[in-house]
Chain A
Amino acid sequence: MIAYRLARLAVVLLVVTFLSYVLLNLLPGDPTTQMLGLSATEEARAELRRQLGLDQPLLVRYGAWLGGLLSGDFGTSPITRVPVAEELVERLPVTLELLVAAEVLALGLAVPAGVAAARRAGRALDQALTALGFALLSTPVFVVGVLLILLFAVTWRVLPATGWTPLSVDVGWNLTSVLLPAVTLGCAQMAVYARLLRTDLIATLQEDYITLARARGLSPRRILWRHALRPSAISLVTAVGLNLGALIGGTVIVETLFGLPGVGRLIVDSIFSRDYLTVQGCVVLISVGYVLVNFAVDLVYAAVDPRIRRA
């Protein structure tokens, strides 16, 4: 089972890194433009291309990078002259914390909202939560971010507008610096999760065994939280795993908006400066993360629904 998953991970990595390498190389321009600027001579550019190996065919360069990766070497960025692995280690905690905080906030708000909407399906609260959900889904991330900054930082001055304090420096300030970005990132996810849970919960509440439980006199709260919620959470758990990609995409915007030094910012900067090695490092990191999270989701299925475990 694990060997099969590892093999699948290797294939995913190979395909994703190759495609991203090819796509990046299809972009016009190369790192020499960023490194030498406007005033460099043709000879200087050609020499730098040779030094960086950019005069080699694409497949040769990809092969060399892959060979390095197999021995644990992500390469060194020609732009910053810093090892890519070092850069990723510096940036990963920021993005990881942002992702976890966004998921926790989204789930923490979506579960009660979904349950409340399902319990009162079709009534005023359900309609209000549905309207709020659609509003959050249809509002772009950057608009949510700007509005939150306007309210919490500019008007009320209770949270910092931008900037990042690492967890290791100050826990309190770390939490305040991650709160607005996490809410911004988690808003749309919250709406999706609440809608999914509401729909599945309404269906579950119409199952025969729920009717039987009611007939046996179990309290509505016990039926809802104990017997209906778990089987209704399968779609939600799946969505959490699948939405990781959307969340990572969102970090690119949120990290830029709030000035957070995470992997999202690194990807954007590296693409603009044609820093192929750093982009490849980020792609590997995200691919591995995505596969691992979905592996974890598979394990959670079994915990949520015993029928899957038995199968």
Chain B
Amino acid sequence: MRRRTTLLASLALVALTACSGPRPVAGPQAPSSGTASPTAGGRLVYGLSADAAGFNPVTDQFSSQTYSMVGTMVETLVSVDASGAWKPNLAQSVTPNSAADEWTIKLRQGITFSDGTPLTGEVVLANFKAQQASPLTSSVFGPVLSAELADPMSVKVKLRQPWVAFPYHLAAQIGMVLAPASLADPDAAGRAPIGTGPFTLKQYVPDSRMVVTRNPTYWRKGLPYLDEIEFRILPDGQTRAQTLEAGGLDAMGTTRDEDVVKFGALKDSYTVHRPKGMAVAEYMFMLNTAAAPLDDVRVRRALAHATDRAAVIATVRSGLTEEADGPWSKDSPWYDAGGDYPGYDLARATSLVKEVEAEKGPIAFEVLSPPDPSTMAGVELAQDMWRKAGVDVTIRQADQADLINRAVVGDFQATVWTQFSSPDPDGEYVWLHKNYAQPVGSVALNFSRLRDVQLSDALDSGRSNPQPEVRKKDYATVQRRLRELVPFVFVDHLDVGSVIATTRVRGIVDQTLPDGDRRTPLTGAPVPYHPFTQVWVSAK
């Protein structure tokens, strides 16, 4: 009896300990507004699936999770509005000359970094030089001839060729501006970067949490709304979702369709934000057009014909996504339906396979896949579909590092792949242009190694031509050639990557740019990210 009492007392003590004291995961609540007006104050706990490899935009490879974290402290020169057009951010204006081969970036007055250093043209120039010298980002600066100070608050960038989409690149990693102190000490910036952002770093525990606190000297008056954000690193998708349910998180990023379905049904408690338009990446099988048997376009078309995209979506995406027939979705301004994408037609697939086999013998190849079960399920489904058409497909597991390495040097025949989420089609230039295709064994950014003159000419024209209607036509050509030549077997527009928040979290997708335009709501893949400047919490 006494032992039972002791046991009960111990359990009560544990329960009491669990419920006593201020719980570190939940901070001060925002005062109840009772309206939809933003309320200042409050703390947000945000779940991410992976930690950053480092926070320095000059030296560290950024994932979408890194953008979420670093974006609170370091800002970009340019941003993208809700229509997909680039807009100045730290820059006041970004102006091309008539040929679009020279751009002048004029900075806003009165912006300071969180350490008090003013933002000037000289600082931006130093950032450009650092980015240009970095092995990580130097390739993006390929078309840049030189950068120089035009006046104390302006930098002039001279290009080797006209480049109308140049400002879009300043909305990503290379457009992030670090304070001189961070440029001088890259290792320190890797853990605590100094920027002009709405928050400053308070605490960082690798693989556990990053806490940022409100920057009192932030240049956009009245912002940010939140006092503090804690990013919690929770790699397991299921426990991340359970933590949200248990109240340990206010919001999280996810790639799991079951989360979208489950939390989407609980509209009173949660909001599910999914990316749209150009921000959505495509899920596909990338085919090596320089390696047999996929160097034969008939085999590639047979695979596309054998792929029942609707069945894949119904099976591994809970029916949530749309079928893809190219790199851009139908709700994108750049989408064009031209060309003949080989849709599901098993009879046609079988006939093409037989035709090739009669000439060259049996068709067999290997498809790479990361070992995670959800990706494997999609690949096994495709394997089954392709086998029905008479193609012998084996699956080889490769972890992320191995898979990327193989893609870069062309040591693959086919691989599952996710790509194409740049805000402007020019962002896909290096991945598709013939000049970036190399023989198998050499490093190439055009991983499928497709060397098509028409497609490359259209990419060149789209890069250099300022007329929107001409660009639209160019990128229609790109889509048509991709459908005809099938370097990718497209499956779906992967918009299940989403941000899920409790209903007390507001403003995730309703943010404005400094000049008043509505900002693009979500960016990036596979988990989308967004700024936190105008996110706020309601007690309601």
Q: What residues of chain A have their CB less than 8 Å away from a CB belonging to chain B? A: 27-30, 33-42, 44-45, 47-48, 79-82, 87, 90-91, 142, 145-146, 149-150, 153-154, 157-165, 169-170, 172-173, 175-176, 179, 256-261, 265-266, 269, 272-274
Contacts and interface: CB of A to CB of B under 8 A. Distances in A.
B165 to A, nearest CB: 16
Contacts of B238: 146
Contacts of B242: 146, 149-150, 153-154, 161-162
B18 A39 contact: no
B8 interface: no
Interface in B211-248: 232-236, 238-240, 242-243, 245-248
Interface string B1-39: 000000000000011011111011100000000000000
Interface string B283-297: 000000000000000
Contacts of A42: 442-443
B209 A163 contact: yes
Nearest to A42: B443
Contact of B17 (A37, A45, A163, A175): A175
Contacts of A161: 239, 242-243, 245-246, 248
Contacts of A175: 14, 17
Given A34-B401, A36-B136, A272-B400, 18 more contacts: A27-B402, A29-B401, A29-B404, A34-B53, A35-B60, A38-B445, A41-B443, A42-B442, A81-B186, A150-B242, A154-B246, A158-B15, A162-B234, A162-B239, A163-B209, A172-B17, A175-B17, A176-B17
A42 B234 CA distance: 34
B23 A173 contact: yes
Nearest to B187: A81
A90 B139 contact: no
A37 B407 CA distance: 11
A112 to B, nearest CB: 9
A212 to B, nearest CB: 29
B135 A44 contact: yes
B539 interface: no
A179 B399 contact: no
Interface string B380-403: 000000000000000000111110
A271 to B, nearest CB: 8
Contacts of A90: 205-206
A257 B236 contact: yes
Contacts of A272: 399-401
Contacts of B206: 80, 82, 87, 90, 261
B405 interface: yes
A186 to B, nearest CB: 15
Contacts of A142: 236
Given A27-B402, A153-B248, A80 B239 contact: no
Contacts of B51: 269
Identify the 6 closest CB pairs spanning chains A and B, nearest first: A44-B135, A261-B208, A42-B443, A29-B401, A153-B246, A29-B405
Contacts of A35: 53, 60-61, 136
A48 B135 CA distance: 8
A41 B139 contact: yes
Given A27-B402, A81-B54, A172-B20, A162 B232 contact: yes
Given A163-B209, A269-B207, A44 B442 contact: no
A30 B246 CA distance: 39
A40 B135 contact: yes
A257 B54 contact: no
Contact of A40 (B21, B139, B246): B139
Nearest to B405: A29
B24 A173 contact: yes
A303 B428 CA distance: 70
6 contacts: A33-B408, A38-B445, A44-B135, A158-B18, A161-B239, A163-B248
A163 B445 CA distance: 39
Contacts of A259: 208, 232-236, 239-240, 243
B232 A163 contact: yes
B84 interface: no
Contact of B208 (A154, A164, A256, A269): A164
Contacts of B153: none
Given A33-B404, A38-B404, A160-B25, A257 B239 contact: yes
B453 interface: no
A257 B209 CA distance: 15
B64 to A, nearest CB: 13
Contacts of B261: none
B240 A162 contact: yes
A173 B240 CA distance: 19
Contacts of B20: 172
A146 B245 CA distance: 13
**B23, B239, B247 pick with most chain A CB within 10 angstroms:** B239
Given A38-B445, A173-B21, A256-B235, A149 B246 contact: yes
Nearest to B53: A79
Contacts of B207: 91, 261, 265-266, 269
